[in-house]
């Protein structure tokens, strides 16, 4: 098998590796997928699985892709929620006032804070601008 890192393997090597019974090679592929769930190796595995015979490891690799991507999304949603909370705190506004000033209902804004939902990019910019404006106003008053 190819001694280079999995991320440098051609798709044909990924296909060959998935067709073997070599658990250590499969583990190398899984590690690469976990490192970058939407990266080159993950896309190659997807391509192989889309065109492959249903050999034993196919279902497991498809599950690794699905679970790793779901975990990444959860982590990213949590990171966005932390950022939204930071913008709210920095503004000095009450949650309901902040939500009103960005034009969303308070319950929807609460879902951003909890990480249950993520705001659009344009809404993130609106939140940052509001937070910047009020943080600056608080800074000007304290001088």
Domain count, the chain: 2
User: Sign of dihedral through CA atoms 20, 23, 24, 27?
Assistant: positive
Instruction: Categorize the per-residue pLDDT at 20 as very low, low, confident or very high, splitting at 50, 70 and 90.
Output: confident
Does residue 22 sit in the same domain as residue 57? yes
Residue 54: is it exposed, middle or buried by C-beta count within 10 angstroms (0-12/13-18/19+)?
A: exposed
For residue 54, what pLDDT band results from cuts at 50, 70 and 90?
Answer: low
Q: Does the residue 1 lie in any domain?
A: no
- pLDDT tens per residue, range 87-131: 999 999 999 999 999 999 999 999 999 999 999 999 999 999 999
Coil, helix or strand for 40?
A: helix
Q: What angle do CA 32, 34, 36 make, to 5 degrees?
A: 70
Confidence (pLDDT) at 47: 93
Range of the domain at 132: 77-142
Whether pLDDT at 138 is above 80? no
pLDDT digits (tens, 9 = 90+) for 57-72: 888 999 999 999 999 9
137 pLDDT band, cuts 50/70/90, is: confident
pLDDT tens-digit readout, 71-97:
999 999 999 999 999 999 999 999 999
Same domain, 100 and 61: no
Co-location of 59 and 100 in the same domain? no
Tally of CB atoms within 10 A around 58: 16
81 and 122 assigned to the same domain: yes
Q: Are residues 129 and 87 located together in one domain of the fold? A: yes
């Amino acid at each position: 098998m190819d001694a280079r890192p999995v991320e440098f393997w051609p798709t044909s090597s990924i296909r060959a590796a998935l067709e073997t019974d070599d658990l250590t090679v499969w583990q190398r592929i899984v590690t690469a997928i976990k490192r970058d769930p939407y990266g080159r190796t993950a896309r190659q595995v997807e391509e192989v699985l889309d065109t492959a015979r249903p050999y034993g490891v196919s279902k497991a690799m498809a599950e690794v892709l699905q679970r790793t991507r779901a975990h990444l999304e959860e982590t990213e949603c949590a990171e966005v929620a932390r950022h939204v909370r930071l913008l709210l705190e920095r503004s000095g506004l009450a949650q309901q006032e902040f939500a009103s000033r960005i034009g969303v209902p308070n319950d929807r804004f609460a879902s951003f804070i909890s990480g249950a939902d993520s705001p659009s990019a344009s809404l993130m910019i609106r939140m940052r601008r509001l937070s910047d404006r009020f943080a600056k106003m608080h800074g000007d008053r304290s001088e």
